[in-house]
């Protein structure tokens, strides 16, 4: 079957290309731009008009897909195998202009499938309709973004006293402070990053210079070992083993909000060559 390469108005699910040059003709999908269902804790006011509005939370997203499978029956077999109810979650990738930056994805499972054996099927064209259910209602960029978070003001310094003339800060090796690098986040809703920190570091801290939020792990990471902080699942792993209890009480799980943010890395060793690698996907609702 044809391979998904991000051409406009195409999708891919379970290795099957929908639309484009393949044998599956994609009809009008729905649910990508629809708002997900809302869960709320609204309460009726007693003996008064109206209600007391509660906090709104987004529920699951439902996507309806309709397509026609042409050519031989092997193409239909591939489609039925990919869109099999009960097969678990798979990634739906889509390229629709104006949706999730033009190329997006979501993780969904098949909840319903319809493939009637009518006159169209007898003529060699099978019509298939499926309903996809995504527990996470957000649409994410198909391409993952990455950045490097570096120290802004290294702890290391070079003695300048006693001074000897002629002298200059450049030759004395004075440490200059550079502003934190800007990280641009697309989308229209917050998304949750994953940090990877390679040792040796001691008590690493990642700070958001804009909001003052920070994450600190009271832990010594030996040389070449990797500390992974997943803010979505709220997990702290050292070489795959949980170290969640090492978070300091003032740590905050903060997301990446759309726009420009400034992050800073710090640890007790103060080695300015150390830092954190961060990856994320911009998100849309």
* pLDDT single digits (tens) 130-176: 999 999 999 999 999 999 999 876 544 444 455 555 544 444 444 44
Boundary of a domain, candidates 141, 171, 200: 141
- For residue 180, is it within any domain? yes
Report the chain's terminal Cα–Cα distance, integer Å: 31
Question: Do 191 and 164 fall into the same domain?
Answer: yes
- Of 119, 141, 163, which residue sits at a domain end? 141
Does residue 1 sit within a domain? no
* Same domain, yes or no: 166 and 258: yes
Same domain, 76 and 188: no
Residues 24 and 101 occupy one common structural domain: yes
Pair (123, 166) in one structural domain: no
Shared domain for 120 and 238, answered yes or no, is no
Q: Provide the domain limits for residue 101.
A: 10-41+53-141
Query: Does position 242 have pLDDT exceeding 80, yes or no?
Result: yes
User: Domain total for the chain?
Assistant: 2
DSSP-H helix ranges across the chain = 73-82, 119-122, 169-172
- CATH code of 20's domain: 2.40.30.200
Residue 269 lies in a domain: yes
Instruction: Look up the pTM and report it.
Output: 0.86
d(CA 283, CA 199) in angstroms, rounded, equals: 30
Residue 4 lies in a domain: no
Single out the residue in 125, 141, 157 at which a domain terminates: 141
Q: Which position has the higher pLDDT, 273 or 36?
A: 36
Highest mean pLDDT among 38-47, 105-114, 122-131, 153-162: 105-114
Cα–chain-centroid distance for residue 163?
Answer: 52
> Alpha helices of 123-234 — where are they, by DSSP H?
169-172
Residues 191 and 61 both lie in one domain = no
CATH code, domain with 280? 2.60.120.860
User: Per-residue confidence at 248, pLDDT binned at 50, 70, 90?
Assistant: very high
Kindly state whether residues 36 and 130 are assigned to the same domain: yes
27 vs 31: CA distance, rounded Å: 13
Domain contains 5: no
Q: Give 84's Cβ-side CA count (13 Å radius).
A: 11
């Amino acid at each position: 079957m044809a391979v998904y390469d991000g051409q406009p108005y195409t999708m891919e699910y379970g290795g099957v290309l929908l639309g484009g040059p393949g044998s599956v003709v994609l009809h009008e999908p729905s649910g990508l731009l629809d708002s997900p269902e809302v869960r709320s804790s609204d309460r009726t006011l007693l003996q008064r008009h109206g209600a007391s509005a509660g906090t709104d939370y987004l529920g699951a997203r439902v996507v309806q897909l309709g397509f026609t499978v042409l050519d031989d029956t092997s193409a239909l077999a591939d489609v039925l195998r990919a869109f099999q109810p009960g097969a678990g979650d798979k990634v739906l990738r889509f390229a629709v202009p104006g949706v999730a930056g033009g190329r997006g994805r979501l993780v969904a499972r098949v909840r319903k499938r319809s493939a009637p054996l009518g006159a169209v099927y007898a003529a060699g064209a099978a019509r298939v309709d499926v309903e996809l259910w995504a527990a996470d209602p957000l649409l994410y960029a198909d391409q993952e973004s990455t950045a490097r978070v570096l120290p802004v003001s290294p702890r290391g310094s070079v003695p300048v006293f006693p001074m000897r003339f002629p002298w200059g800060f450049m030759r004395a090796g004075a440490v200059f402070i550079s502003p934190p690098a800007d990280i641009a986040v697309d989308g229209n809703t917050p998304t949750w990053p994953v940090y990877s920190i390679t040792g040796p570091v001691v008590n690493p801290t990642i700070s958001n210079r804009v909001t003052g939020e920070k994450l600190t792990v009271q832990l010594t990471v030996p040389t070449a070992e990797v500390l992974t902080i997943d803010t979505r699942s709220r997990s702290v792993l050292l070489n795959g083993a949980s170290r969640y209890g090492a978070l300091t009480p003032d740590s905050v799980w903060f997301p990446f909000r759309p726009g420009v943010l400034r992050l800073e890395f710090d640890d007790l060793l103060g080695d300015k060559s150390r830092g954190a690698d961060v990856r994320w996907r911009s998100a849309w609702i």
